[in-house]
Structure 1
Amino acid sequence: MTGILAQIITITSFGNEYLKNGKLTDFYPQNSTFQHCDYVDFREMKKKNIFSSKKEITVSKNPIEWFEYLKSKNCKKLRLFYQTVKEDDHKMAGFVGGGGNWFIETINSTHSDFWISRWNHDKNLTEKPWQVTYGKAIEKRPIINQQLDLIQTRENLKTCLEKITEFAYKETTENWGKIFETARETLENESPESDFYHNDLIIWNNYDLQNRQLLMSASKAFVFGGMGSWNDMWFDKKEIEEKYNELSSELYDTMMKSITCAINKDKME
């Protein structure tokens, strides 16, 4: 899982907790998804007066302030929304801004706004080189609140993982086969998050076990990146190369749906 996606998931999960209960402890900047960030702020395009053009205005200097801001605007809940950009999004997943677009949908009574992140790397900052801004990209649109069937989504992911596990063992290395096999087994694990790097990714108690299994399975199957990743492979035989691309695209799409499904079906209703 990329750091960009992990942070969006975290903000969505903890934001819903704040909107419901009005408080959070040990979230920002302590959460592991912020560990390499110099700052994480939130901005909108606004006019200073009726005669000026729109400018980017910081409305919240950090996620906690943003949750307070949303609550003051009567925001009801946060949801993930994924937008496919290209058919081969999985090939660009290892690059900043690649792999499709992830939005945080902020749901109000009559409409939704959609926020997207922008990551800037400052080479002069060694310990925390990333400067992150979430901007309101779309505003006052019909509510989406995307909900996918949990049982069907789990079955789809399981099927994808079974197919790509078989392919990996046969055509690549045992290591890749084990990665996909572990991801599939996570769908049945009673403690799916126990060995995950971001052990503070979400508020685990706010999600049923099947949701957590789905989220962790998809996360452990996230092998798409740059050099040395699953993307960094090719095959001499055309039919094997085609199968590799087909399975990779199918898995990536199913993973994105699995993450959306797992996070958007919480206990916060």
Structure 2
Amino acid sequence: MTGILAQTIALTSYGNEYLKTGKSTDFFPQNSTFHHCNSVDFREIQKKNLFTSKKEVVVAENPIEWFLLLKKENCRKLRLYYQTEKSDDHKLAGFVGGGGNWFIECIYDNYSDFWISNWTHDKNLIEKPWIVTYGKAVSKQSTINLQFDINSTKEKLKNILEKITEFAFKETSENWGQIFEKAKNTLQNNNPEIDFYHDNLIVLSNYSLENRQLLMSASKAFVFGGMGSWNDMWFENEETEKEYNYLSTELYGMMMTSIVTSINKDNNE
């Protein structure tokens, strides 16, 4: 899973907890999704009056301040919104800003705002080289609140994982096959977060076991990146290459749907 996606998920989950309880214990900067970030702020394009030009304004200097702002504005809940860009999004998933766009939808009584992140790498910041800015990309639009049936989504993810596991064992290596097999088995694991780097990715108590299994299965199947990743291979046999591309595209799309499904349907819905 990319750092961009992990942080977007964490902000959505812990933001909902704050909107519900007013508490954000040990979230920022302690959460693992911030470990390599030098700063994380939130900005809007604002205009003071008719005679001034628009300019970018920092409205919250960190996630906690953003949660406070949302609660003050009577935001009801946060939801993930995924916008695909190309049919081969998985091929660009290892690049910053690639692999489709992830928004945080802030839902109010009569409209939604959509926020998206921008990550900038500063080579002079050795331990925490990332400067992250979330911008309000769309303001006061119709609410979307993407929802998918969790049982149907789990079954579809299971099916594609079975197919790509078989392909990986047959055409690639045991290591790849074991990765996909582990992701598939996570759909039935009573402790789905085991062996996952971001063990504090979400507020666990706010999600059913089914949701967590779906989220972790999709997360553990995230093999798409740059050099050395699942993307970094090709096959001389034309039919094998065609099957590889088809299965990769199907898995990536199903992973994105699974993540949205697992996060957008919580115990408070």
What TM-score range do you get, normalising by the shorter chain? Answer: over 0.9
Q: In the alignment, which residue of structure 2 is the partner of 1:215?
A: 215
Query: What is the Cα deviation at residue 52 of structure 1?
Result: 1.4
RMSD after superposition: 0.6
Question: Secondary structure at the residue paired with 2:119?
Answer: strand
Unaligned runs of 5+ in 1: none
Q: Which runs of 5+ in 2 are unaligned?
A: none
The separation in 2 between residues aligned to 1:133 and 1:24, in whole angstroms, is 20
Q: Is the 8 A contact 1:16 1:268 kept in 2?
A: no
TM-score (norm 2): 0.99
1:68-111 deviation digits (Å, cap 9, x = unpaired): 00011110000000000011000000000000000000000000
Q: Which residue number corresponds to residue 264 of structure 2?
A: 264
Shift of 1:268: 2.1
Equivalence for 1:169: 169
Q: How big is each residue's C-alpha offset from its partner over 1:98-150, in whole Å with a ceiling of 9 and x where there is no partner? A: 00000000000000010000000011100111000000001111101111000
Aligned identity (percent) is 69
Aligned to 1:42: 42
CA distance in 2, matches of 1:79, 1:52: 34
* 2:252 maps to 1:252: yes
Counterpart position of 2:120: 120
The aligned amino acid for 1:213 is Q
Q: Match of 2:206? A: 206
Give the TM-score normalised by the residue count of structure 1.
0.99
Q: Which residue of 2 aligns with 1:17?
A: 17
Aligned residue in 2 for 1:236: 236
Tell me how far apart the structure 2 counterparts of residues 226 and 195 of structure 1 sit (CA, whole Å). Answer: 22
For 1:191-225, what per-residue CA distance to the aligned partner results, in whole angstroms no more than 9, with x for missing partners?
A: 00022111110001110000000000000000000
8 A Cα contact 1:17 1:268, kept in partner: no
SS at match of 2:196: coil
Specify the alignment match of 1:190 in structure 2.
190
How many Å apart are 1:23 and its aligned residue? 1.2
Aligned residues: 269
1:241 deviation in Å?
Answer: 0.5
Given that 1:77 and 1:106 are in contact with CA atoms closer than 8 Å, whether structure 2 keeps it comes out as yes
For 2:128, what is the secondary structure of its paired residue? coil
Q: Runs ≥4 in structure 1, deviation > 4 angstroms?
A: none
